[in-house]
Amino acid sequence: MRTSRSVVIGVDSSTQSTKAVAVDTATGGLLAVGRAPHTVTGTGGARESDPEEWWTALATAVRAAVRDAGIPATAVTGIAVAGQQHGLVALGADGRALRPALLWNDTRSAPEAAALAAGLGGPKSWLERTGSVPVASMTAAKWQWLREHEPAHAAATTGVRLPHDYLTERLTGHAVTDPGDASGTCWYGHGGGAGRDSYDPEILDLLGLDPALLPAVAPSGATRVGTLTAAAAEALGLPRTVVVAAGTGDNMAAAVGLGLGGAGLLDHPVVSLGTSGTVFAATRTRPADPGLAGFAATDGTYLPLGCTLNCTLAVDRFAALLGLDREDAAPGADAGVVVLPYLDGERTPDLPHAAGLVTGLRHTTDPRAILGAAYEGAAFTVLHALDGLLAACGLDLTDSAVRDRPLRLIGGGARGRTWTDTVRRLSGRPLVVPAAEELVALGAAALAGGAVTGEDPVALAHAWGTGAGELLPPLARSTETWDRIAGVLTAASPGLLR
C-alpha cells in the first residue's frame, strides 16, 4: 500500500440518498463507492427533508468509501459536493436549519412562482436577467412561499442555502456556492441583461431577501474554498488538510463527469432518467426560452436544461399498482393505450397541479401494455423537452447531423432495458450509455481534483474517461406512438405543445 497515492472524494447528495466515490486522482480509477439513504416526507405537493440527515449520510458514505477503498485516510487530498438543485435551506442563528428543507420537487410554491413570473416586467425580463422564468421548483418561489406561509421562519432566517451550499459550509465553515447551482435560484444573474455574474439586487428586493443571507459565489465549482473544519474532519474520519472545492449542482456535476464544457464536448445532448427526467447540453450561448432553465455550467459555459418531475419513480409506481416488475412492460403492445404519468404534477410541460392520466383501456387490455405506455409517456415528455432545448440552442432538428448525433443516456433508467429501448424507439437516435454509474459523484470528484491540482475539471474527467461507454444503434422511430401521445396531451391541455 502506497501512502503517497492521492485520492479525491466526490459526493452526490441527491433527493433519495448520498453516494460518495473515492477516485485515484492520477488515473481516475474508481476505488470504492459509499452509500447512505435520505428520508423524504410530505403529502400532496409537499416534499421535505431534514438537512441534518444529509450531513449524517455524507459522513456515513465518505467513511464507507474510504474503508472499502482500502486506503489510509491520509491518502485523501480533496473533496467536493454536488447536490440536488433548488432546495431551500433556511438557517437559524445557530447555523442549523430552522425547519425541514423544501425540495426541488415540492410544488406548493406554484402560485408564488406564477405571481413572481408576472412581476418584474414579465417572463421576458426574467429570462434576460437570470435565464429562467420562475416555476415551483426554483428557490425564489420557495423563499416566497416561506415568507407568505411561515413568516415567523422567514423572519428568523439568518442564512439561505441550497443543499450543496449547506453541506459545503458544514465541511469548511464558509458560506460559499458556485455559479452553476446559484443559477438555479432565479435570483442570480449569470450573463444577464446587464452582463454581470452576481445576485440581482432588484430581484432580491422583490423577494424581501437581504443579500447578506446568501453565500459568496466562487468563480467555479473547482475553486478551492477551504479545508475541513475540526468537527468535519472528525465526522468524516479524514485529515483537516483535505482541500474542499466549491462544488456545484447535480446536473452541472454530471456534465463535468461526461466531459461537457469549454474544455470538452459542446452541444452534445444528454438525457438523464432518474426520479426526474432531465435534458441538457453545454453551450456557449444561453438560449432565452421560458420552457428551459438557463443554467450556468460550472466552467463558464451555459447548461440549458429541461426537467420533468415524473420519470423512473412514476413508472415504478405504475408497476407497483399493476403488480408487475418494472421490466414486465410491453411498450407498443396496445396502440390504444396512452399514459401521462404526471403523478407529482409536472414541471415541463408546466402543469404543477396535474394528475396522472390513463386512456384507451378495454376489457382486453393487458396490464403489461399499460406499464409500457407509462414508459412511453415519461420518455415522450423528456424527449419533447429535448427537442425544445435543441431548437432553443439554434440547432435545426431536420438536419441529419443534428438528428443523428447520439444521445448520452445517464441516470438509473439508463441501466434498464425497457427504458433504453423506449428512448431509442421514440427518438430514433443512437445512444451512448456511459459505463460509469455515478457520473454526478465522479463529476464532483473531478471538481475536487481540480481544486487539488489546478487542472481544468472537465479536461481531467475527459482524461479519466468517465463519460465513455457503449454505443447503441438507433431503432426506427415510432412516429405513430409519438403523435398519439402528443394528441392526448394536447387534448388534455391545449396550447402546451409547441
Residue ranges for the binding site for substrate? 85-86
What is the distance between the alpha carbons of residues 128 and 451, in angstroms, rounded to a whole number? 32
The span from the CA of 227 to the CA of 23, in Å, is 18
Interatomic CA distance for residues 270 and 276, integer angstroms: 14
Q: Could you give the CA distance from residue 257 to residue 299 in angstroms, rounded to a whole number?
A: 13
Nearest to 224 by CA among 454, 465, 429: 454
How are beta strands 76-83 and 243-245 bridged, if at all?
parallel
What's the grid cell of residue 127?
A: 429570462
Angle at 422 between CA 418 and CA 425, to 5 degrees: 140
What is the DSSP pairing of strand 469-472 with strand 431-434? antiparallel
Report the DSSP beta bridge partners of residue 216: 176
349 prior amide bond cis, ω within 30 = yes
Look at residues 5, 98, 112, 83 and name the one whose alpha carbon lies nearest to residue 52.
Answer: 98
DSSP category for residue 105: T
* Binding site per annotation, positions: 85-86
Cell of 183: 443559477
In angstroms, the CA 349 to CA 297 distance is 23
* Catalytic option among 12, 181, 200, 250: 250
Contact 377, 341 (CB under 8 A): yes
Total residue length of the chain: 498
Q: Look at residues 276, 251, 291 and name the one whose alpha carbon lies nearest to residue 126.
A: 291
* Separation of alpha carbons 9 and 461, rounded Å: 14
243, β-bridge pairs: 78, 227
Which helix (H) or strand (E) segment holds residue 272: the answer is strand 270-273
Does the annotation count 250 as an active-site position? Answer: yes
Q: Alpha helix locations (H) across 336-416?
A: 367-392, 400-403
Query: Measured between alpha carbons, how far is 250 from 132 in angstroms, rounded to an integer?
Result: 18
With the C-alpha atoms ordered 17, 424, 285, 137, is the resulting torsion angle positive or negative? negative
- C-alpha cell read off for 454: 489546478
Which residues are known catalytic residues?
A: 250
